[in-house]
């Protein structure tokens, strides 16, 4: 047996060396990519041969199958192990994972879970990251969480440089992205966060993506005003198709447009446009109107018929909240809202700039159902109109700044064409400021979420509603450099020294 | 079962009464301490960098000790166990066979199952002694910061399961060999294969990746360190340990009857 050992030890060492060398070279790509695998294979063969030479027992184990199959405790243990492995495979498919972290970092929010439960089609999440990409591990973890949350979600990883043909087939055009795929619809995700991924999943599996048009041609996007790039991004991210619309006179709002946004026109709309918008609403269209103070849109009479009153005077809010924003005297801070799906659970306040009062008539119009959705603080005043020197600012009060209204519309005849089926009721949101939807203000405080919720309510895409904020709370380190040095001496020197001391004691005793 | 405990106690006594055992423990504690201290310094540097960049607002955003210290500590210790477990298990059967004690032991009225379980429990206690240093580490962490204990205990449980699986591999290899060195080297090779084998096929076809991936140990262990208690992983570790112990027991039986 001694000679067996002498023969096998170099083989074992060679096997280990080859395995390690193959592992180190595993990053080699290109035409010589097979080399590391070949080296590792040789290592495994060498190890097996060495083991085969070294222990006669292995020969017994390999060749005496009859003996191995004899009943006894070992067979029971083997069967028990096999049962557990089958159980593990079953649990792996079904997913029996318990997230024990206090921050819930390994699980999805109730919003995402609800969304995934409702999926009607299979969605594939593909992590197309290079091996050395920093986000690769994060993406892999996120994929595991989604895969465990729904059987409709299939996940896979691929290295686009190594499998270019497959990447092209899957519609992946660049490396280091997470790709969400449903049928032929493919979207790339570059920010690996739950909200983005869940909304992308919803988008790719939703065959009807509503078109949201922003009216143009009345100074809405003219030079000098803050642009709408952020709003465009918000709508795209929310699964809505953004379009700029120039109506002109005597033109209907196109049938495929479900929601229209009128964003702070600086000149009145043409009569034909007003009539077209009124017809659009009456057939169950959805309108969001953002108005600026001391500006007339021409839509006021139509709104008044629905019981919506636009004051037009500029608001000066002297509440501590608005002053604390530090954004100038015209800023209006809002942290009070009415009971409505748009504002339900809204956590962060809003910032309006140069707003006017928008409220509902004391006596609601028959058949309509509406509410004030946002209100200023108690110290807001209405300033006199420009040029009106006779009037004085109104007394401080909490002023309504936005309303949401809906009412049933007469049934519409079904029409052929690509238009989505309209619901039989109109929805209208009017806000006394347009800046909060523009690039300059959209990312201030809760403005983005608020605008997203308005679009969600109007288009009936509930997934635009709130995702709970991610818990990014950290843990303070209550120790300075001196304390860390003390820890170093304790765990790095004292504790091992204790073991080495006991080793010395054992050695001395034996001597 | 009583015999198994007697054998286990004998194993542990052998470990703590030998200078080699304490040297192994001391070295492991040293490596663990080195990991903890370096991670703590990294955590401190990260916190300072975050504060300097103005992103740190107390209680709202910051670095979490579980992400920066505990999780990498447990994961790295899992990798370090690949090197240390063979040192703990290489003696168990190989030395007995070399010195002729195994034949003597097998001639006694001791069941093979008790013998294997006893050796396994003994190596388990040895592993527990190795990991006992984490009690000190966690006490230090509790004093200087605020760990998420739920995630920490699950991570520690995962480390124990991983160590037990490594122990079972080492034990089986030890039954098959007659010298400690052979047992140690073979165990190391087997553990390296287990750990890096599935990942080494990263460039292979998808079907081989998925087959080998289902046997991957480190990704399963990593889930535990993240604070994720996956019952499928627990069953996997339990199943593999049982199969390895069954193989060890069958090998002991072969040795008993065929020499």
Q: What is the pLDDT of residues B69-94, one digit of tens each?
A: 999 999 999 999 999 999 989 888 88
CB < 8 Å to A473, chain B: 59-62, 64
Whether A255 and A332 share a structural domain:
yes
Instruction: Answer whether B62 sits within 8 Å of A476, measured CB to CB.
Output: yes
A2-11, A59-68, A440-449, B42-51: the lowest-pLDDT one: A59-68
Name the residue in chain B with its Cα closest to that of A67: B254
Domain shared by A147 and A236, yes or no = no
**Tens of pLDDT along A91-125?**
776 667 888 888 888 888 888 888 888 888 889 99
Looking at A227-231, B65-69, B78-82, which range is the least confident one? A227-231
Q: Write the CB contacts of B253 (distance below 8 Å, at least 6 apart in sequence).
A: A72, A74, B112
User: In a 10 Å sphere around its CB, with 0-12 CB exposed, 13-18 middle and 19+ buried, how is residue A300 labelled?
Assistant: middle
Whether the pLDDT of residue B31 is over 80: the answer is: yes
Specify the pLDDT at position A133.
Answer: 82
State whether B202 and A26 contact (CB < 8 Å).
yes
- B139: contact with A, CB 8 A cutoff: no
B186 has a chain A CB within 8 A of its CB: yes
Q: Do A67 and B181 touch (CB under 8 A)?
A: no
> What is the reported pLDDT for B120?
92
Across the interface, whether the CB atoms of A91 and B231 are under 8 A apart is answered yes
Mean pLDDT of A392-420: 76
- Which of the pair, B142 or A345, is modelled with greater confidence? B142
What's residue A161's pLDDT?
A: 85
Quick: pLDDT tens for A416-469: 445 554 457 899 999 999 988 888 888 888 888 889 889 888 988 765 556 666
Whether residue A335 is found in the same domain as residue A430 = yes
- Separation in Å, CA of A472 to nearest CA in chain B: 5
Burial class (CB in 10 A: 0-12, 13-18, 19+), A481: exposed
Residue B137 has pLDDT above 90, yes or no: yes
Q: What is the DSSP letter of A281?
A: H
Residue in A with minimal Cα distance to B214: A89
Q: Best residue in A56, A77, A473 to probe B by mutation, most B CBs within 10 Å?
A: A77
Task: Tell me the pLDDT of chain A averaged across its residues.
Answer: 81
Q: Is B42 on the interface with A (CB under 8 A)?
A: no
The answer on pLDDT for B67 being more than 80 is yes
Q: Which of residues 191 through 250 in chain B touch A, CB cutoff 8 A?
A: 192-193, 196, 200-204, 206, 214, 223, 226-233, 235-236, 238-247, 249-250
Residue A498 lies in a domain: no
Predicted local distance difference test score (pLDDT) of residue B208 = 67
For the stretch A34-68, pLDDT in tens is: 777 788 888 888 888 877 776 665 555 555 545 55
Binned at pLDDT 50, 70 and 90, residue B58 comes out as very low
Question: What is the pLDDT at residue A429?
Answer: 95
Given an 8 Å threshold on Cβ–Cβ distance, is B22 in contact with A81?
no
What is the arithmetic mean of pLDDT over A247-276? 87
CB contact under 8 A, B23 and A496: no
Number of domain units in chain A: 3
Contact state of B243 with A77 under an 8 Å Cβ cutoff: yes
Single out the residue in A152, A187, A205 at which a domain terminates: A205
Q: Is residue A497 in some structural domain?
A: no
- Tell me which chain A residue has its CA closest to the CA of residue B59: A473
A5 contacts in chain B (CB < 8 Å): 178-179, 182
User: At residue B57, what are phi and psi to the nearest 5 degrees?
Assistant: -125, 120
Residue B64 confidence (pLDDT) above 70 = yes
- Cβ of A54 within 8 Å of Cβ of B177? The answer is yes
Cβ-based contacts of A8 with chain B (< 8 Å):
182
Q: Residue A234 belongs to what domain range?
A: 211-464
Q: How many CB pairs under 8 A join A and B?
A: 283
**pLDDT of A2 over the 50 cut:** no
Considering only CB atoms, B47 lies closest to which of A61, A75, A477, namely: A477
Residues of B in contact with A131 (CB under 8 A): 202
* B226/A141 touch (CB, cutoff 8 Å), yes or no: yes
Is the Cβ pair A484, B226 closer than 8 Å? no
Give the start-to-end residue ranges of the domains of chain B. 2-258
Reported confidence tier of residue A135, pLDDT bands at 50, 70, 90: confident
Residues A314 and A366 both lie in one domain: yes
B38 close contact with A: CB closer than 8 A: no
Reduced to 3 states, what is the DSSP secondary structure of residue A211?
strand
3-state class (DSSP) for residue B228: strand
Give me the percent of chain A exceeding a pLDDT of 70.
85
- Beta-strand runs (E) in A47-135: 97-99, 123-128
Same domain, A201 and A223: no
Note whether A164 and A223 are same-domain residues: no
Q: What is the 3-state secondary structure (H, E, C) of B173-190?
A: HHHHCCCHHHHHHHHHHH
**Nearest-CA distance B163 → chain A (Å):** 17
Q: A228 and A184 share a domain? A: no
Residue pair B103/B112 in contact by the 8 Å Cβ criterion = no
Tell me the mean pLDDT in the region A326-355.
82
What distances in angstroms separate CA A398 from CA A344, A395, A431, one per listed residue? Answer: 20, 10, 15
E strand segments, A363-496: 368-375, 380-382, 400-408, 425-431
Q: Is B18 in the A-facing interface, judged by CB distances under 8 Å?
A: yes
Whether the pLDDT of residue B25 is over 50: the answer is yes
Q: How many CA atoms lie within 13 A of B248 on its CB side?
A: 29
Q: Give the best-scoring range by mean pLDDT among A223-227, A239-243, A255-259.
A: A255-259
Q: Which helix (H) or strand (E) holds A244?
A: strand A241-245
Reduced 3-state DSSP string for B81-106: HHHHHHHHHCCCCHHHHHHCHHHHHH
Point out the residue among B59, B112, B185 whose CB comes nearest to the CB of A16: B185
Binary contact (B239, A19; C-beta < 8 A): no
* A386/A242 same-domain check: yes
Tell me, yes or no, if B44 comes closer than 8 A to chain A by beta carbon: yes
Token pair for B126: 């040895």
Question: Which residues of A are less than 8 Å from B226 in CB distance?
Answer: 101, 105-106, 141
Q: What is the ipTM of this complex?
A: 0.84
Instruction: Measure CA of the first residue to CA of the last residue in chain B; give whole Å.
Output: 25
Q: Is the predicted pLDDT of residue B234 greater than 80, yes or no? A: yes
Q: What is the pLDDT of residue B166?
A: 95
Q: Which residue of B has its CA nearest to A511?
A: B19
HSE at residue A10, side-chain half, CA atoms within 13 A, is 3
Alpha-helix runs per DSSP H in A238-364 = 271-282, 300-305, 320-325
Is the same domain home to A144 and A280?
no
Give domain status of residue A171, yes or no.
yes
Q: Which residue of A has its CA nearest to B66?
A: A475
Asked which of A39, A70, A101 is the last residue of a domain, the reply is A70
Please indicate whether, in this complex, the C-beta atoms of B189 and A22 are within 8 angstroms of each other: no
pLDDT over threshold 60, residue A154: yes
Angle CA B123–B125–B131, to nearest 5: 105
Would you state the pLDDT for residue A308?
93
> CA B16, CA B13: separation in Å to the nearest integer?
5
pLDDT band at residue A302 using 50, 70 and 90 as cut-offs: very high
Residues A177 and A193 reside in one and the same domain: yes
Mutate to test the interface with B, among A83, A101, A107 (most CBs of B within 10 A): A101
Nearest by CB to B228, which of A5, A67, A99? A99
The verdict on a CB contact (< 8 Å) between A500 and B26 is: yes
Closest residue of chain A to B247, computed from CA coordinates? A74
Three-class SS of A331-371 = EEEECEECCCCCCCCCCCCEEEECCEEEEECCCCCCCEEEE
Chosen domain end from A445, A464, A483: A464
User: What count of residues does chain B have?
Assistant: 259
Strands A257-263 and A211-215: parallel
Helix (H) / strand (E) containing A212: strand A211-215
CB contact under 8 A, B227 and A105: yes
Task: Give the separation between CA A102 and CA A104, rounded to whole angstroms.
Answer: 6
Distance from CA of A91 to the nearest CA of B (A): 5
A249 confidence band (pLDDT: 50, 70, 90): low
> Tokens representing B158?
């995962």
User: How confident is the model over A371-380, as a mean pLDDT?
Assistant: 88
Q: Count CB neighbours of A443 within 10 A.
A: 10
CA atoms within 13 A on the CB side of B132: 12
**Residue A77: which pLDDT band, with cuts at 50, 70 and 90?**
confident
- Asked if residue A471 belongs to a domain, the reply is no
Q: Is residue A495 part of a domain?
A: no
Q: Give the three-class secondary structure for B232.
A: helix
A232 and A198, same domain (yes or no): no
**Contact present, A365 and A306 (Cβ < 8 Å):** yes
Say whether B33 and A496 touch across the interface (CB within 8 A): yes
The predicted pLDDT at position B205 comes to 61
Chain B nearest C-alpha distance from A313 (Å): 39
pLDDT value, residue A26: 63
Within a domain: A368 = yes
CATH number at residue A147: 3.40.30.10
- What pLDDT score does B210 carry? 67
């Amino acid at each position: 047996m001694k000679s067996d050992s002498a023969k096998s030890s170099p083989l074992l060492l060679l096997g280990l060396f080859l395995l390690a060398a193959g592992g180190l070279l595993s990053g080699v790509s290109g035409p010589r990519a097979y080399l590391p695998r070949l080296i590792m294979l040789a290592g495994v063969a060498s190890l097996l041969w060495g083991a085969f030479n070294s222990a006669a027992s292995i020969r017994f184990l390999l060749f005496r199958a009859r003996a191995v199959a004899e009943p006894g405790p070992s067979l029971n243990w083997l069967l028990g192990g096999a049962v557990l492995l089958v159980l593990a495979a079953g649990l792996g498919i079904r997913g029996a994972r318990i997230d024990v972290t206090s921050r819930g970092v390994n699980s999805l929010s109730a919003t995402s879970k609800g969304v995934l439960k409702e999926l009607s089609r299979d969605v594939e999440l593909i992590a197309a990251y290079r091996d050395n990409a920093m986000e690769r591990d994060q993406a892999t973890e996120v994929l595991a969480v989604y895969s465990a949350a729904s059987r409709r979600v299939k996940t896979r990883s691929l290295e686009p440089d190594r499998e270019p043909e497959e990447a092209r087939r899957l519609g992946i055009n660049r490396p280091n992205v997470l790709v969400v795929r449903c049928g032929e619809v493919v979207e790339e995700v570059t920010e690996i966060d739950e909200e983005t991924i869940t909304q992308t999943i919803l988008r790719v599996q939703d065959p009807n993506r509503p078109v949201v048009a922003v009216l143009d041609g009345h100074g809405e996007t003219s030079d000098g005003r803050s642009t709408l790039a952020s709003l465009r991004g918000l709508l795209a991210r929310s699964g809505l198709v953004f379009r700029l619309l120039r109506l002109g006179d005597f033109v209907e709002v196109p049938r495929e447009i479900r929601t229209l946004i009128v964003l702070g026109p600086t000149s009145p709309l043409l009569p034909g446009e007003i009539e077209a918008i009124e017809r659009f609403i009456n057939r169950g269209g959805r309108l969001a109107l953002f108005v600026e103070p001391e500006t007339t849109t021409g839509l006021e009479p139509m709104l008044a018929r629905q019981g919506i009153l636009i004051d037009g005077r500029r608001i000066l809010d002297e509440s501590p909240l608005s002053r604390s924003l530090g954004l100038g005297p015209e800023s209006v801070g809002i942290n009070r809202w009415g009971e409505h799906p748009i504002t339900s659970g809204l956590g962060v306040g809003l910032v309006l700039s140069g707003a006017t009062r928008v409220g509902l008539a004391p006596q609601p119009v028959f058949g309509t159902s509406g509410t004030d959705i946002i209100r200023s603080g108690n110290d807001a005043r209405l300033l006199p109109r420009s040029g009106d020197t006779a009037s004085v600012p109104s007394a401080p009060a909490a002023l309504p700044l936005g309303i949401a209204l809906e009412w049933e519309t007469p049934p519409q005849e079904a029409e052929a064409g690509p238009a989505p089926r309209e619901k039989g009721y109109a929805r209208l949101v009017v806000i006394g400021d347009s800046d909060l939807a523009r690039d300059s203000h959209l990312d201030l405080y809760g403005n983005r979420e608020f605008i997203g919720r308005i679009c969600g309510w109007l288009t009936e895409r509930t997934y635009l509603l709130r995702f709970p904020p991610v818990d990014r709370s950290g843990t303070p380190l209550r120790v300075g450099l001196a304390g860390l040095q003390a820890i170093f001496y304790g765990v790095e020197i004292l504790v091992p020294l204790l073991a080495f001391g006991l080793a010395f004691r054992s050695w001395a005793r034996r001597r | 079962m009583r015999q198994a405990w007697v054998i286990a106690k004998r194993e542990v006594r052998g470990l703590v009464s030998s200078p080699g055992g304490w040297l192994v423990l001391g070295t492991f504690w040293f490596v663990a301490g080195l990991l903890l201290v370096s991670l703590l310094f990294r955590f401190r540097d990260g916190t300072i960098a975050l504060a300097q960049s103005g992103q740190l607002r107390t209680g709202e955003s910051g670095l979490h000790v579980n992400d920066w210290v505990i999780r990498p500590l447990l994961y790295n210790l899992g990798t370090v166990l690949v090197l240390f477990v063979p040192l703990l298990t290489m003696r168990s059967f190989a030395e007995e066979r070399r010195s002729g004690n195994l034949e003597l032991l097998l001639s006694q009225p001791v069941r093979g199952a008790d013998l294997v379980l006893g050796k396994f429990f003994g190596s388990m206690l040895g592993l527990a002694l190795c990991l006992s240093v984490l009690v000190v580490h966690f006490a230090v962490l509790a004093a200087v910061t605020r760990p998420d204990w739920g995630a920490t205990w699950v991570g520690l449980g995962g480390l124990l399961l991983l160590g037990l699986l490594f122990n079972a591999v080492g034990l089986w290899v030890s039954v098959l060999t007659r010298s400690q060195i052979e047992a140690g080297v073979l165990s190391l090779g087997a553990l390296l294969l287990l750990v890096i084998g599935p990942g080494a096929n990263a460039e292979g076809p998808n079907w081989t990746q998925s087959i080998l991936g289902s046997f991957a140990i480190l990704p399963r262990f990593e889930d535990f360190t993240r604070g994720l208690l996956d019952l499928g992983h627990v069953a996997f570790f339990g199943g593999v340990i049982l199969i390895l112990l069954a193989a060890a027991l069958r090998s002991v039986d072969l040795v008993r009857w065929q020499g």
